[in-house]
Chain A
Amino acid sequence: MTCKELIEFLDDYYAGDQPAEVRAEFEKHLATCSECVDYLRTYENTVRLAQAASLCDEPAATADDAPEELIQAILAARSKQAD
Protein backbone atom coordinates (compact mmCIF):
# COMPACT_ATOMS: atom_id res chain seq x y z
CA MET A 1 0.00 0.00 0.00
CA THR A 2 1.34 3.45 -0.89
CA CYS A 3 0.82 6.65 1.07
CA LYS A 4 -1.47 7.90 -1.70
CA GLU A 5 -3.70 4.81 -1.42
CA LEU A 6 -3.87 5.14 2.35
CA ILE A 7 -4.76 8.83 2.31
CA GLU A 8 -7.36 8.41 -0.44
CA PHE A 9 -9.31 5.93 1.70
CA LEU A 10 -8.45 7.45 5.05
CA ASP A 11 -12.05 8.46 5.75
CA ASP A 12 -13.13 4.81 5.76
CA TYR A 13 -10.28 3.92 8.11
CA TYR A 14 -11.11 6.87 10.38
CA ALA A 15 -14.79 5.88 10.45
CA GLY A 16 -13.98 2.23 11.13
CA ASP A 17 -15.82 1.23 7.96
CA GLN A 18 -13.36 -1.22 6.47
CA PRO A 19 -13.27 -5.01 6.34
CA ALA A 20 -10.74 -6.47 8.75
CA GLU A 21 -8.23 -7.45 6.06
CA VAL A 22 -8.20 -3.94 4.55
CA ARG A 23 -7.79 -2.39 7.98
CA ALA A 24 -4.87 -4.73 8.59
CA GLU A 25 -3.18 -3.39 5.42
CA PHE A 26 -3.66 0.15 6.69
CA GLU A 27 -2.22 -0.76 10.10
CA LYS A 28 0.75 -2.44 8.41
CA HIS A 29 1.53 0.72 6.42
CA LEU A 30 1.10 2.97 9.47
CA ALA A 31 3.50 0.78 11.44
CA THR A 32 6.33 1.78 9.11
CA CYS A 33 5.40 5.22 7.77
CA SER A 34 5.78 8.10 10.22
CA GLU A 35 4.59 10.59 7.58
CA CYS A 36 1.26 8.81 7.28
CA VAL A 37 0.98 8.56 11.07
CA ASP A 38 1.42 12.35 11.18
CA TYR A 39 -1.14 12.79 8.42
CA LEU A 40 -3.68 10.58 10.19
CA ARG A 41 -3.21 12.45 13.48
CA THR A 42 -3.63 15.87 11.84
CA TYR A 43 -6.64 14.58 9.85
CA GLU A 44 -8.29 13.38 13.06
CA ASN A 45 -7.46 16.69 14.75
CA THR A 46 -8.93 18.58 11.80
CA VAL A 47 -12.21 16.67 12.07
CA ARG A 48 -12.44 17.27 15.83
CA LEU A 49 -11.58 20.95 15.44
CA ALA A 50 -14.25 21.33 12.76
CA GLN A 51 -16.80 19.63 15.02
CA ALA A 52 -15.92 22.05 17.81
CA ALA A 53 -16.00 25.06 15.50
CA SER A 54 -19.69 25.91 15.49
CA LEU A 55 -19.82 29.38 13.92
CA CYS A 56 -21.06 31.02 17.08
CA ASP A 57 -20.24 31.04 20.75
CA GLU A 58 -23.82 30.72 21.87
CA PRO A 59 -24.51 27.95 24.37
CA ALA A 60 -26.76 25.08 23.38
CA ALA A 61 -30.40 26.06 22.89
CA THR A 62 -32.45 26.37 26.05
CA ALA A 63 -36.19 26.64 26.44
CA ASP A 64 -35.70 30.33 27.27
CA ASP A 65 -33.84 31.05 24.04
CA ALA A 66 -36.89 32.28 22.15
CA PRO A 67 -36.53 36.03 21.56
CA GLU A 68 -40.00 37.55 21.86
CA GLU A 69 -39.40 40.13 19.13
CA LEU A 70 -38.50 37.38 16.66
CA ILE A 71 -41.54 35.31 17.61
CA GLN A 72 -43.85 38.30 17.17
CA ALA A 73 -42.26 39.20 13.82
CA ILE A 74 -42.85 35.66 12.57
CA LEU A 75 -46.45 35.54 13.80
CA ALA A 76 -47.21 38.94 12.25
CA ALA A 77 -45.70 37.92 8.91
CA ARG A 78 -47.54 34.58 9.05
CA SER A 79 -50.83 36.40 9.63
CA LYS A 80 -50.27 38.54 6.56
CA GLN A 81 -49.29 35.43 4.61
CA ALA A 82 -52.50 33.66 5.65
CA ASP A 83 -54.79 36.55 4.68
Chain B
Amino acid sequence: MNKPEHEVSAAALATRSDEELLSLLKGNDAAACERFVRDHMPRALAAARRLVGNEADAYDATQDAFLSFFRSLGSFRQDATLSTWLHRIVINAALMRRRSKQRRPETAIEDLLPCYLSDGHRANPVPVGEASAESLAERREVKLLVRRKIEELPEEYRNVILLRDIEQLDTAETARLLNDTPGAVKTRLHRARQALRTLLEREDTFGTRA
Protein backbone atom coordinates (compact mmCIF):
# COMPACT_ATOMS: atom_id res chain seq x y z
CA MET B 1 0.00 0.00 0.00
CA ASN B 2 1.43 3.38 -0.90
CA LYS B 3 1.90 5.93 1.88
CA PRO B 4 -0.02 9.18 1.41
CA GLU B 5 2.34 11.76 -0.08
CA HIS B 6 2.17 14.03 2.91
CA GLU B 7 3.35 11.33 5.32
CA VAL B 8 7.07 11.15 5.88
CA SER B 9 9.00 7.93 6.50
CA ALA B 10 10.55 7.21 9.91
CA ALA B 11 14.05 7.35 8.43
CA ALA B 12 13.38 10.77 6.92
CA LEU B 13 11.87 12.03 10.18
CA ALA B 14 14.97 11.07 12.15
CA THR B 15 17.04 13.59 10.19
CA ARG B 16 14.58 16.48 10.41
CA SER B 17 15.46 19.61 12.34
CA ASP B 18 13.19 20.84 15.12
CA GLU B 19 11.81 23.52 12.78
CA GLU B 20 10.95 20.99 10.10
CA LEU B 21 9.48 18.59 12.63
CA LEU B 22 7.39 21.39 14.13
CA SER B 23 5.98 22.15 10.71
CA LEU B 24 5.03 18.50 10.17
CA LEU B 25 3.44 18.24 13.61
CA LYS B 26 1.46 21.45 13.11
CA GLY B 27 0.32 20.05 9.75
CA ASN B 28 -1.00 16.96 11.56
CA ASP B 29 1.31 14.59 9.73
CA ALA B 30 0.26 11.28 11.29
CA ALA B 31 3.62 9.55 10.85
CA ALA B 32 5.47 12.51 12.36
CA CYS B 33 3.12 12.60 15.36
CA GLU B 34 3.50 8.89 15.96
CA ARG B 35 7.28 9.06 15.60
CA PHE B 36 7.42 11.98 18.03
CA VAL B 37 5.34 10.13 20.65
CA ARG B 38 7.41 6.95 20.32
CA ASP B 39 10.75 8.76 20.48
CA HIS B 40 9.87 10.90 23.51
CA MET B 41 7.73 8.44 25.48
CA PRO B 42 10.56 6.84 27.55
CA ARG B 43 11.87 10.14 28.90
CA ALA B 44 8.37 11.60 29.43
CA LEU B 45 7.09 8.54 31.27
CA ALA B 46 10.22 8.33 33.41
CA ALA B 47 9.81 11.96 34.50
CA ALA B 48 6.13 11.43 35.30
CA ARG B 49 6.96 8.32 37.32
CA ARG B 50 9.63 10.18 39.34
CA LEU B 51 7.16 12.93 40.25
CA VAL B 52 3.88 11.13 40.87
CA GLY B 53 5.07 7.84 42.35
CA ASN B 54 2.52 5.40 40.95
CA GLU B 55 2.09 3.86 37.53
CA ALA B 56 -1.55 4.77 36.90
CA ASP B 57 -1.03 8.46 37.62
CA ALA B 58 2.21 8.46 35.64
CA TYR B 59 0.40 7.07 32.60
CA ASP B 60 -2.38 9.65 32.98
CA ALA B 61 0.04 12.54 33.43
CA THR B 62 2.05 11.42 30.39
CA GLN B 63 -1.07 11.18 28.24
CA ASP B 64 -2.27 14.58 29.46
CA ALA B 65 1.13 16.04 28.63
CA PHE B 66 1.34 14.73 25.07
CA LEU B 67 -2.20 15.90 24.29
CA SER B 68 -1.47 19.30 25.80
CA PHE B 69 1.71 19.45 23.70
CA PHE B 70 -0.19 18.80 20.46
CA ARG B 71 -2.94 21.26 21.40
CA SER B 72 -0.49 24.05 22.07
CA LEU B 73 1.80 23.68 19.04
CA GLY B 74 0.42 26.90 17.65
CA SER B 75 1.75 28.89 20.59
CA PHE B 76 5.24 27.34 20.72
CA ARG B 77 7.70 30.23 20.57
CA GLN B 78 10.79 28.15 19.77
CA ASP B 79 12.62 29.49 22.82
CA ALA B 80 13.62 25.89 23.63
CA THR B 81 13.86 22.60 21.76
CA LEU B 82 10.66 20.61 21.22
CA SER B 83 12.06 17.99 23.57
CA THR B 84 12.64 20.52 26.37
CA TRP B 85 9.22 22.04 25.84
CA LEU B 86 7.55 18.65 26.08
CA HIS B 87 9.52 17.91 29.26
CA ARG B 88 8.22 21.14 30.82
CA ILE B 89 4.67 20.16 29.91
CA VAL B 90 5.16 16.68 31.41
CA ILE B 91 6.38 18.20 34.67
CA ASN B 92 3.42 20.57 34.82
CA ALA B 93 1.02 17.72 34.10
CA ALA B 94 2.60 15.62 36.85
CA LEU B 95 2.44 18.47 39.37
CA MET B 96 -1.21 19.13 38.49
CA ARG B 97 -2.07 15.48 38.90
CA ARG B 98 -0.43 15.50 42.33
CA ARG B 99 -2.39 18.62 43.30
CA SER B 100 -5.67 17.00 42.37
CA LYS B 101 -5.07 14.02 44.64
CA GLN B 102 -6.01 13.92 48.29
CA ARG B 103 -2.88 14.68 50.28
CA ARG B 104 -1.97 13.76 53.82
CA PRO B 105 -1.97 16.70 56.25
CA GLU B 106 0.91 19.12 55.68
CA THR B 107 3.01 20.55 58.47
CA ALA B 108 3.42 24.32 58.49
CA ILE B 109 6.91 25.25 57.34
CA GLU B 110 7.58 27.48 60.35
CA ASP B 111 7.21 24.46 62.64
CA LEU B 112 9.98 22.68 60.75
CA LEU B 113 12.66 25.40 60.63
CA PRO B 114 15.38 25.69 63.28
CA CYS B 115 14.63 27.77 66.37
CA TYR B 116 17.26 30.03 67.87
CA LEU B 117 18.07 31.47 71.26
CA SER B 118 18.62 35.19 71.70
CA ASP B 119 22.41 34.70 71.32
CA GLY B 120 22.00 33.08 67.90
CA HIS B 121 22.63 29.49 69.03
CA ARG B 122 20.16 26.81 67.98
CA ALA B 123 17.62 25.88 70.62
CA ASN B 124 17.65 22.15 71.50
CA PRO B 125 20.26 20.85 69.06
CA VAL B 126 20.39 17.05 68.85
CA PRO B 127 23.80 15.35 68.50
CA VAL B 128 23.66 13.13 65.43
CA GLY B 129 25.49 10.02 64.24
CA GLU B 130 28.15 9.74 61.57
CA ALA B 131 26.22 7.75 58.96
CA SER B 132 26.80 8.92 55.38
CA ALA B 133 24.00 9.70 52.94
CA GLU B 134 25.30 6.93 50.69
CA SER B 135 24.97 4.25 53.37
CA LEU B 136 21.56 5.60 54.39
CA ALA B 137 20.26 5.74 50.81
CA GLU B 138 21.12 2.06 50.30
CA ARG B 139 18.49 1.11 52.87
CA ARG B 140 15.09 0.79 51.25
CA GLU B 141 13.25 1.82 54.40
CA VAL B 142 15.20 5.10 54.49
CA LYS B 143 14.38 5.82 50.85
CA LEU B 144 10.68 5.18 51.52
CA LEU B 145 10.82 7.35 54.63
CA VAL B 146 12.38 10.24 52.70
CA ARG B 147 9.62 10.00 50.10
CA ARG B 148 6.93 10.02 52.81
CA LYS B 149 8.50 13.02 54.51
CA ILE B 150 8.73 14.96 51.24
CA GLU B 151 4.96 14.43 50.96
CA GLU B 152 4.48 16.08 54.37
CA LEU B 153 6.00 19.36 53.24
CA PRO B 154 3.65 22.21 52.26
CA GLU B 155 2.96 22.08 48.52
CA GLU B 156 5.09 25.04 47.43
CA TYR B 157 8.11 23.65 49.33
CA ARG B 158 7.46 20.09 48.19
CA ASN B 159 7.34 21.17 44.54
CA VAL B 160 10.67 22.94 44.68
CA ILE B 161 12.37 19.87 46.19
CA LEU B 162 10.72 17.66 43.56
CA LEU B 163 11.97 19.84 40.71
CA ARG B 164 15.44 20.80 42.01
CA ASP B 165 16.55 17.72 43.92
CA ILE B 166 14.57 14.86 42.36
CA GLU B 167 14.12 16.10 38.79
CA GLN B 168 17.51 17.89 38.97
CA LEU B 169 16.34 20.98 37.11
CA ASP B 170 18.40 24.14 37.57
CA THR B 171 17.11 27.18 39.46
CA ALA B 172 16.16 29.13 36.32
CA GLU B 173 14.14 26.25 34.82
CA THR B 174 12.46 25.56 38.17
CA ALA B 175 11.51 29.21 38.49
CA ARG B 176 10.04 29.19 34.98
CA LEU B 177 7.95 26.10 35.70
CA LEU B 178 6.73 27.38 39.05
CA ASN B 179 6.09 30.87 37.67
CA ASP B 180 8.40 32.41 40.22
CA THR B 181 11.72 34.24 40.44
CA PRO B 182 15.06 32.43 40.77
CA GLY B 183 15.69 34.23 44.06
CA ALA B 184 12.38 33.02 45.52
CA VAL B 185 13.07 29.47 44.34
CA LYS B 186 16.50 29.52 45.97
CA THR B 187 15.10 30.73 49.30
CA ARG B 188 12.23 28.28 49.22
CA LEU B 189 14.56 25.38 48.39
CA HIS B 190 16.79 26.15 51.36
CA ARG B 191 13.77 26.30 53.68
CA ALA B 192 12.38 23.09 52.16
CA ARG B 193 15.68 21.29 52.74
CA GLN B 194 15.86 22.54 56.32
CA ALA B 195 12.28 21.38 56.90
CA LEU B 196 12.94 17.97 55.38
CA ARG B 197 16.05 17.68 57.54
CA THR B 198 13.93 18.34 60.64
CA LEU B 199 11.35 15.72 59.61
CA LEU B 200 14.09 13.14 59.06
CA GLU B 201 15.82 14.02 62.32
CA ARG B 202 12.57 13.45 64.22
CA GLU B 203 12.54 9.90 62.82
CA ASP B 204 16.11 9.40 64.04
CA THR B 205 17.22 8.95 60.42
CA PHE B 206 20.71 10.27 61.10
CA GLY B 207 21.19 8.21 64.26
CA THR B 208 22.41 9.58 67.57
CA ARG B 209 26.03 9.94 68.53
CA ALA B 210 26.82 7.91 71.63
Please give the residue numbers on chain A whose beta carbons come within 8 Å of chain B beta carbons, in ascending order: 2-5, 7, 10-11, 35, 38-39, 41-56, 58, 60-67, 70-71, 73-75, 77-79, 81-82
B42 near A2 with CB under 8 A, answer no
**A66–B38 contact, CB under 8 A?**
yes
Q: A39 contacts which chain B residues (CB < 8 A)?
A: 114, 122, 125
- Rank and list the top 3 A-B pairs by shortest CB-CB distance, nearest first: A2-B120, A48-B133, A55-B53
Q: Which residue of B lies closest to A74 (CB)?
A: B66
With A38-B128, A41-B128 given, is the CB distance from A58 to B49 under 8 Å? yes
Docked-complex contact A56 and B161, CB < 8 angstroms: no
Q: Once the chains are docked, how many angstroms separate the CA of A7 from the CA of B25?
A: 50
Q: Select which of B54, B146, B186, B206 is within 8 A of A50 by beta carbon.
A: B146
Q: List 29 A–B pairs whose Cβ atoms lie within 8 Å, in order of A's numbering.
A: A2-B116, A2-B119, A3-B116, A11-B193, A35-B125, A38-B128, A45-B131, A45-B133, A47-B193, A48-B137, A49-B146, A53-B143, A53-B146, A54-B49, A55-B50, A55-B51, A55-B52, A55-B53, A56-B49, A56-B53, A61-B42, A61-B43, A62-B42, A65-B41, A67-B45, A67-B59, A70-B45, A71-B34, A74-B67
Q: How far is the CA of A7 from the CA of B120 in the complex (A)?
A: 10
Q: Which one, B33, B147, B200, contacts A46 given CB within 8 A?
A: B200
- Min distance, Cβ B70 to any Cβ of chain A, angstroms: 5
Judge whether A50 and B37 touch: CB under 8 Å: no
Check if B84 is an interface residue, CB within 8 A of chain A: no
**Is B3 interfacial (CB 8 A cutoff)?**
no
The digit string for B120-142, where 1 denotes a CB below 8 A from any CB of A, is 11100101100111101100001
